[in-house]
Amino acid sequence: MPSRAKPSANSSKLDQVVAEARRNREEREKGYRERALKMYPWVCGRCAREFTHANLHELTVHHRNHDHDYNPPDGSNWELLCLYCHDNEHSRYLEAATAVWAATASPPLPSSLSPISRRC
């Protein structure tokens, strides 16, 4: 039977850092999520699906400017979205960012200058 290798000091330290980051994120999320749920009606801001205590876990807080650390007390950076609309919003954001990157990226080299097409 193969023996398990002892975790190295580095992997143990990494595990601690990851665990602490997750705890911090959960604390931060709990704070603004609870505030947003008290401030806004339990309705998805896109599809208008209504939520109750039974399915409230499917309602998420979306940061309008995509900065999860910007949580003003008035809630102006938040909107409540269902899981599906939230996922769609982030997909659209990533597609837009990719399109901007593609539009500003350097054009490919002409095939006559490509290192693959040139043979020594």
**Predicted confidence (pLDDT) per residue in 43-91, tens digit:** 999 999 999 999 999 999 999 998 988 999 899 999 999 999 999 998 8
Average of per-residue pLDDT across 98-113: 65
61, 36 contact by CB (below 8 A): yes
d(CA 16, CA 8): 12
Q: In which residue are the tokens 């939520």 written?
A: 51
Give the per-residue pLDDT at 89.
Answer: 92
pLDDT class of 115 with cuts at 50, 70, 90: low
Give the per-residue pLDDT at 81.
Answer: 96
Smallest CA-to-CA distance from 40 within 16, 8, 22, 64 is with 64
